[in-house]
Amino acid sequence: MDNPRNEPSWRKWYVMILIANLLYFLVFIYLMNLYA
Amino acid sequence: MQLLDWTILIGTLSFIVFYGYYKSKGSKNVKDYLLANNESKWWTVGLSVMATQASAITFLSTPGQAFHDGMGFVQFYFGMPLAMVVICVTFIPIFHKLKVYTAYEFLENRFDLKTRSLAAILFLIQRGLAAGITIYAPAIILSSILGWNLKVLNILIGTMVIIYTVSGGTKAVSVTQKQQMFVIMMGMFAAFYFIVSQLPEEVSFANALQLAGASDKMKIIDFSFDLDNRYTIWSGTLGAFFLFLSYFGTDQSQVQRYLSAKSVRESRMGLLFNAAIKIPMQFFILLVGVMVFIFFQFQSAPLNFSPAANEVVKSSEYAQQYTDLELVYAGMQRRKMELNMDYLQAIENNTDDRKALQNTMEQITTKEKQIREEAKELISAANKSTETNDKDYVFIYYILNYLPSGLIGLLLAVIFSAAMSSTASELNALASTTVMDIYKRNLKTEKSETHYLNASKWFTVMWGLIAILFASFGTLFENLIQFVNIVGSIFYGTILGIFLVAFYVKSIRGASVFWAALLSEILVIAVFFQDILSYLWLNVLGVFLTVLMAFILQQLNNFRHRPLTA
């Protein structure tokens, strides 16, 4: 069940999550420039 | 509150309690009761982790935080995705491989029984006190603003949680948390929609954001290195990373959520789901607060939102001074309403006076802040022990005074749901740790499965009653919430220190880490009583001392046992 060979590539997921959060960060900077 | 509100509130809460009770009753063994038989899917884990973290105070306090200080609080969550990734990589595979019931069970495998018991006891003290606050904090706010009896509220919230948590254990907790999260999100979206729709006709959503920016509420990211500023991008990523690492990695109330998952994959997906949506969710809750702020730019707002604080000052010798301040404040609010409309007009026509208007608005905002501070001083002068910070009362004031009937009931259900979801996880985790780490391992080691199942249920009842009792005597302690935060900070660092050594420094053995943790705990308590450091830094000190002393003790031990022929 927990055989690593059956799991998707987790590194890809971790990078995607961190990129998503980097995007939030950039959106916040954009909103700040627009409204603050 | 009208009949419709009562119907929605009572209907929603009773449905959740009885659904949780029926859907999960009849646990056959301890694994079924404490780990939901390892059948949880990732979305159950994800929602459960989210519901555990979001307490009633999150929904009462966060919009109030944005109302006063803007969107900057969202930076505090930037450390969380990083912490989640570390937990997915290191903690989850080991916990699953060893098939542990609690995080502390892993410590026996890695070190020894005494280290496991020490970490479990530190957790029980800290979380046992915090469970009382999770009930007390919303109860005191609701009782003060709605006039409900505080003790009845404490007993009501506590009893509702005990009913389903005792009967169904972890499964009941996660089944109800899914519905509680649904109620919470529905309520918050509805509130957001109503706030925006209640703004004056000529103010669009984009205009509202422009006004928020002009009033200094849209400074989302702060790059300054100012240590006095609590929320900067640096404290939010680095400082919060350690806080979230210890909360999600070593606090049984969270660990138990992802230990109930079917596999490593489901646990990881549940945590990554949180890592992906926590920041937008927190941003949204803060935005609700900013919209409440904009709403009160066109409506008169009280000088202080806390009814208890108002009552104290108005029945004191400072009543006249306070009324005078209220008049000045009301005058400024009228002036600001005109300025807001002029500012929007200037933006629309793209005229040059925009900057000048913004400066005037900033000056008025600063003056408003000064008047609020003066009001707080008067409240403190009237009665020193009265809480003057009204951020917890802003959102509930808006809900009760401006939302339509029906929605008030729904939003109160949101607050109750959030209080119940966090308390349920806490009672569930306290019972698991008491049974598995203390009772089964140290006191009654050779009993039947049924015996431990019943013990788990009885310990859940016991911790539930302790939480209600502690919440009921809450008013006896001055500034109770701070007291519990201090207790948390005293123990959290040491627990994280033990786990960091366990995962990352393979050469350190049980005896070294046990004595290091014990010594570090004594030193942290001594530092606290000597008042050398602000209490938030006690977390850092605990981690640092535990790791450093474990390392030194291990070196001394190695030196004592070195081969003589070397």
Residue-wise pLDDT tens digits, B185-221: 999 999 999 999 999 988 899 999 999 988 889 999 9
Range list of H helices, B434-474: 449-472
Q: Tell me whether residues A13 and B268 touch, CB distance under 8 A.
A: yes
pLDDT band (50, 70, 90) for residue B178: very high
Chain B interface includes A1 (CB < 8 A): yes
State the Rg of chain A over Cα: 16
Q: What is the mean pLDDT of residues B543-563?
A: 89
Smallest CA–CA separation between A29 and chain B, in Å? 7
Give CA–CA dist B293/B394, Å, rounded: 9
CA distances from B159 to B95, B162, B462, B469 (A): 32, 5, 12, 12
Question: Which chain B residues are within 8 Å of A14, Cβ to Cβ?
Answer: 85, 88-89, 272
Chain B interface includes A23 (CB < 8 A): no
Q: How many residues does chain B have?
A: 566
Chain A interface includes B278 (CB < 8 A): no
DSSP string, B43-97: HHHHHHHHHHH--HHHHHHHHHHHHHHGGGGGGGGTHHHHHHHHIIIIIHHHHHH
Out of B88, B268, B280, whose CB is closest to A24? B280
Chain B interface includes A11 (CB < 8 A): no
Q: Tell me whether residues A36 and B216 touch, CB distance under 8 A.
A: yes
Q: Residue A2: pLDDT above 50?
A: no
Q: Residue B164: pLDDT above 70?
A: yes
Query: What is the percentage of chain B residues whose pLDDT exceeds 70?
Result: 97
CA distances from B78 to B233, B235, B244, B258, B462 (A): 8, 9, 10, 21, 37
Q: What is the mean pLDDT of residues B490-518?
A: 92
Q: Residue A3: pLDDT above 60?
A: no
Chain B interface includes A14 (CB < 8 A): yes
Per-residue model confidence as pLDDT tens digits over B309-363 = 888 999 999 999 999 999 999 998 888 888 888 888 888 887 778 888 888 888 8
CA distances from B476 to B146, B385, B512 (A): 21, 11, 40
Q: Tell me whether residues A36 and B280 touch, CB distance under 8 A.
A: no
Out of A21, A25, A35, whose CB is closest to B213? A35
Please report the pLDDT score of residue B467 as a whole number. Answer: 93
Give CA–CA dist B40/B174, Å, rounded: 9
Q: How many residues does chain A have?
A: 36
What pTM value is reported for the model?
0.90
Smallest CA–CA separation between A3 and chain B, in Å? 9
Q: Residue B244: pLDDT above 60?
A: yes
Tell me which residue of B128, B370, B160 sits closest to B252, measured CA to CA. Answer: B128
Question: Which chain B residues are within 8 Å of A33, Cβ to Cβ?
Answer: none
Q: Tell me whether residues B263 and A18 touch, CB distance under 8 A.
A: no
Question: Which chain B residues are within 8 Å of A9, Cβ to Cβ?
Answer: none
Out of B81, B268, B283, whose CB is closest to A18? B81
Chain A interface includes B72 (CB < 8 A): no
Out of B218, B275, B283, whose CB is closest to A17? B275
Interface test with A, best of B76, B80, B98, B221 (most A CBs within 10 A): B221
By C-alpha distance, the chain B residue nearest A12 is B85
Chain CA centroid to CA B256, Å: 17
Please report the pLDDT score of residue B480 as a whole number. Answer: 62
Q: Tell me whether residues A24 and B283 touch, CB distance under 8 A.
A: yes
Chain A interface includes B281 (CB < 8 A): no
Give CA–CA dist B493/B87, Å, rounded: 17
Interface test with A, best of B69, B85, B219 (most A CBs within 10 A): B85
Query: What is the percentage of chain A residues whose pLDDT exceeds 70?
Result: 78
